[in-house]
Chains A and B, each alone.
Chain A
């Protein structure tokens, strides 16, 4: 929902980042305000996941210039765990398996870290149990997954649901969802999209990374950005996604070639 007076939550300006000295982000500018849903689309390899990991603070990615401000702070100064506690959430394209670490315990420690930051009390194991069972409904997930190790042996779709469950528990201010739709069948897609819609509010914002229109049939974005060669090439409304569906990304190559980038 676009409101002219909405608070600016995340302000990415001319962001450049490299991995192993190879430049991947080449000047990304994006402003996310409260209540808004942004979609970032683009071909494989255009830098979408890199953008999400830089925002979450992955140590392998080095910011070479530009800035990211979050609620008036320099986001790039913060450790990944501090970002999470302050309300940045990254739903991973490929959620990581952590053998031996109980999913329930992981979710509890994580939730309490965020709650503490919000000035809410810690939930003990019993209170957390009630809380997590209630939140499971957001993604219609089987409680049996709580008893397992984090993501270990989960199917692609189960991993994605576990990501959205984490989002539901952490109650983020900025949710970045990287290809949350990939690997989901149509029913699971509806459930996950329903969860994201349910969690979106006038106080938070969502950055959806996808390269399929089908997610955007379920979650209607306020803005669609097209990413190519590590920057935002074009921005439009939700109709831009439909246009991309029809015309594909060939025009992107032409534009990049014309600019001498591609």
Chain B
């Protein structure tokens, strides 16, 4: 007899769990004002940036780690983390030929070929390894259109005025515990600037790779779209398998001016820990976009499948009249993973609109919570929000929660919230199986059916990837 059971679902061995053996320039463990200064000096930063860091650090010392999320984890020892690690190589690589072949190989193994011949034809990639960006493709081609796409460190050198103007303008350095920490010690990340009237000619993408076992990753991403500009940006991430936890605390800021739009997609596949919850990334991320201009638009799409802990609420501040914010999310948790994720839509300007579509899938003994805030200010006359939060449970030991918060100070606004919970049943799987569809394919058919509304939002190249990734995460032990 067959004895397939939904309870037996566990994730397939993590494919990206290898470690690259490379010499690194690492500073000693621990966090202090000295360390903040050291990071800043290693990067030859201008004074305004050092001051930004120091202010953040001093503020961080006064803050407490938040504990309101539906998450349980071992206490993080901030003195046991390395705050800067970079592969040893010449500081500035003029061309890809100068990049250590080991690093190129690493990214190739991750499915991100960077070399001239093999790289993706319509996607420009910034590759970040531990604390530094090692290569950015298509920079010249983008520059022809006036588009700046480079590592954050380079931007600090080449466009300090833009950094000074926009850094911390959406997520202030004292915003929250993890944002303050990031502001003090951030190492690298991507910077994107789309000038007035330009539609970015290709997809932009940053791929983050954590390699060291004791290093935290604190990347900083800043994207600015001037009047009438538009861009679609995708972020991907993986990490090796360690039986310890690594901290990842990123900050992403988006600024959108009149009639401009940013579409920001994430496929997050950090190492999630093993089936007993040993190891995995602690992912505490602050992502926020500000629709400053009229008719501006920000769309967040996220597919969260990795990390032991996910704490993440990509948000939109809808300031400009008629601006639009969107949040499309799939969060999948398995084994002992815990995710507390959602969004904040802050309606400030009149007739601002937002849409929230959240799909949570919990399998194994995992816990998956949606937490979202829709806030409508006194001037947001005619604001509208539509939220839909669906949960799917696989097996009978997983948990799903929904925490929708609504605060409205404007009677002339419309807020609509729908929620549902379903369980993937043995009978549904059996029905598909009895029609010749294998168990795993049946699971993935149901999961991707459930996530369709979100996958449809992903850039074409990545929608199929996301489908496969989810299937892989749930694939494994049949029988």
Contact = CB atoms under 8 A, between A and B. Distances in A.
Contacts of B433: 57, 79-81, 84
Contacts of A106: 432, 435, 437, 445
Given A59-B4, A98-B446, A81 B437 contact: yes
B434 A57 contact: yes
B472 to A, nearest CB: 18
6 contacts: A59-B426, A62-B1, A96-B428, A98-B431, A98-B432, A99-B450
B436 A114 contact: yes
A234 B57 CA distance: 85
B441 A59 contact: no
B452 interface: yes
A98 B434 CA distance: 14
Interface in B1-56: 1-5
Interface in B429-463: 430-439, 441, 445-446, 448-450, 452
Given A63-B1, A92-B431, 10 more contacts: A59-B5, A78-B2, A84-B435, A95-B431, A96-B427, A100-B449, A106-B432, A106-B435, A106-B437, A166-B435
A98 B428 contact: yes
In this complex, the member of A60, A78, A99 whose beta carbon has the largest number of chain B beta carbons within 10 angstroms is A99
Interface string A24-58: 00000000000000000000000000000000111
Nearest to B452: A100
A105 B445 CA distance: 10
B418 to A, nearest CB: 14
Contact of A109 (B426, B437, B449): B437
A227 interface: no
A85 B436 contact: yes
A149 B437 CA distance: 16
Nearest to A107: B435
Contact of B435 (A60, A62, A110): A110
A125 to B, nearest CB: 15
A200 interface: no
Contacts of B432: 98, 101, 106, 110
Contact of A60 (B426, B439, B446, B449): B426
B332 to A, nearest CB: 15
A59 B479 CA distance: 10
Contact of A149 (B1, B434, B439, B449): B449
A92 to B, nearest CB: 7
A170 interface: yes
B450 to A, nearest CB: 5
A76 B452 CA distance: 36
A90 interface: yes
A71 B441 CA distance: 27
A67 interface: no
Contacts of A150: 431
Interface SS majority for chain B: helix
Interface residues of B, number: 27
A58 B428 CA distance: 11
Q: Pick the 8 closest A-B CB pairs, nearest first.
A: A100-B449, A113-B436, A84-B436, A110-B435, A96-B431, A80-B433, A101-B449, A85-B436
B446 A79 contact: no
Nearest to A85: B436
B446 A100 contact: yes
A113 B437 contact: yes
A101 B439 contact: no
In this complex, the member of A59, A76, A92, A150 whose beta carbon has the largest number of chain B beta carbons within 10 angstroms is A59
Contact of A90 (B425, B434, B448): B434
A197 interface: no
A102 interface: yes
B431 to A, nearest CB: 4
Contact of A79 (B439, B441, B445): B439
In this complex, the member of A76, A100, A113 whose beta carbon has the largest number of chain B beta carbons within 10 angstroms is A100
Contacts of B5: 59
A98 B428 CA distance: 7
Contacts of A76: 1
Contacts of B426: 59-60
A59 B478 CA distance: 12
Contacts of B428: 96-98
Contacts of B450: 99-100
A249 B431 CA distance: 32
Given A100-B449, A102-B449, A79 B431 contact: no
A69 to B, nearest CB: 15
B215 to A, nearest CB: 40
Contacts of A95: 431
Interface string A57-77: 111101100000000000010
Interface in A95-146: 95-102, 105-106, 109-110, 113-114, 117
B436 A101 contact: no
A96 B434 CA distance: 11
Contacts of B422: 99
Contacts of A99: 422, 449-450
Contacts of A57: 1-2, 433-434
B449 A80 contact: no
Nearest to A83: B434
Contact of B445 (A58, A101, A117, A170): A101
Contacts of A105: 445
Contacts of B449: 98-102, 149
A221 to B, nearest CB: 23
B438 A81 contact: yes
A94 B428 CA distance: 11
In this complex, the member of A58, A92, A170 whose beta carbon has the largest number of chain B beta carbons within 10 angstroms is A58
B2 A80 contact: yes
Contacts of B448: 100
B2 A109 contact: no
Contact of A110 (B2, B430, B436, B439): B436
A92 B432 CA distance: 12
A83 B438 CA distance: 11
B435 A59 contact: no
A109 to B, nearest CB: 6
A97 B432 CA distance: 10
A56 B445 CA distance: 20
B452 A80 contact: no
A200 B3 CA distance: 32
Contacts of B431: 92, 95-96, 98, 150
A149 B148 CA distance: 45
B3 A101 contact: no
